[in-house]
Structure 1
Amino acid sequence: MTSRSDDPSASPSVSTWIEAEAAIDRLASKHPELSRGVIDNAKAFVRFCQTRYEPPGVVSYGYWPTIQLVWHLKDNPIEIEVFQDHYEFYQFFDGETAIQHVDACHGSFPEPLKELLNRALPRPQG
């Protein structure tokens, strides 16, 4: 059971949503090829998730000029790859990968992505 991350040791670990947003800012300054849409969608993702779910363990540059958020959950790792016009939701389990494509909704958070996150991500403790 592995994710698509090429080298998790080279990816910045995060433990809070504040650190996740700071990692997005660092990626934006380090990778000028990241579009404003990717950065804006990644920040909208953080704003939506920060009070609803545990933060990811890693925020990194994605496979494409994208931003990737990774949760190394015990039973089924989760990855979100943030594009300019959509999100890709990856769930890894039993040697399989389930991929969902969700269109971005500028001005609001996409309902289909909310549903996927609600089923997959842990809630904050306490």
Structure 2
Amino acid sequence: MQSSTSWSEVDIEVDRLCVEHADIDSRTASNAKVFVAFAAARYPAPDDVGPGYYPTINFSWIEPFSVSVEVFEERYEFYRFFDRRIEIKDVDVSADQSFPEALMRLLDGVLLDPSLTSARA
């Protein structure tokens, strides 16, 4: 995975992954772009972005968030990692290519949590 420090670097990395990994199809790439465009205005940049379990793109926030979002052609998978368990939620891609409200709520609950954001600062 590629370590990222800003959303502009994340955007560049998504482009690079789509070129380097020909099996990432155009719908997955488009969904990843929708994700970046929405998330960049709302959340801290992920710690890592890279290929997921092909053909996907994975965005990961490490401590203190312990969250990943894997982008597929037809859905997003939200992963939240706890000490001895993982919460996994599937969120369908919106037909109109907008950012899915269900995914926003999941991410808001972690990435905008004041107790976690202050721990990261």
TM-score, normalising length from structure 1? Answer: 0.85
1:94 aligned residue? 83
Residue 112 of structure 1: aligned partner: 102
How many residue pairs get aligned? The number is 114
CA RMSD of aligned residues (A): 1.6
Q: Equivalents in 2 of 1:83, 1:16: separation in Å?
A: 22
Alpha-carbon displacement from aligned partner over 1:50-108 (angstroms, at most 9, x marks no partner): 1111000100000121000000022x410100000100000001210000000000321
Whole-angstrom CA distance in 2 between matches of 1:22 and 1:46: 10
Q: 1:85 aligns with which of 74, 77, 99?
A: 74
What is the SS of the residue equivalent to 1:19? helix
Q: Which runs of 5+ in 2 are unaligned?
A: none
SS at match of 1:64: coil
Instruction: Give structure 1 stretches of 5+ with no counterpart.
Output: 1-10
% same residue: 39
What letter is aligned with 2:54? W
| DSSP-derived class of the 2:107 partner | helix
Q: Does 1:17 align with 2:19?
A: no
Superposed, which structure 2 residues align to 1:68-79 within 5 Å? 68-74=58-64, 76-79=65-68
More helix by share: 2
Tell which has more relative contact order, 1 or 2 (C-alpha 8 A, sep 6+). 1
Distance 2:4 2:34 in 1: 17
SS where residue 102 of structure 2 aligns?
A: helix
- Alignment match of 2:55 (pick from 53, 65, 83): 65
How far apart are 1:122 and its partner, in Å? Answer: 4.1
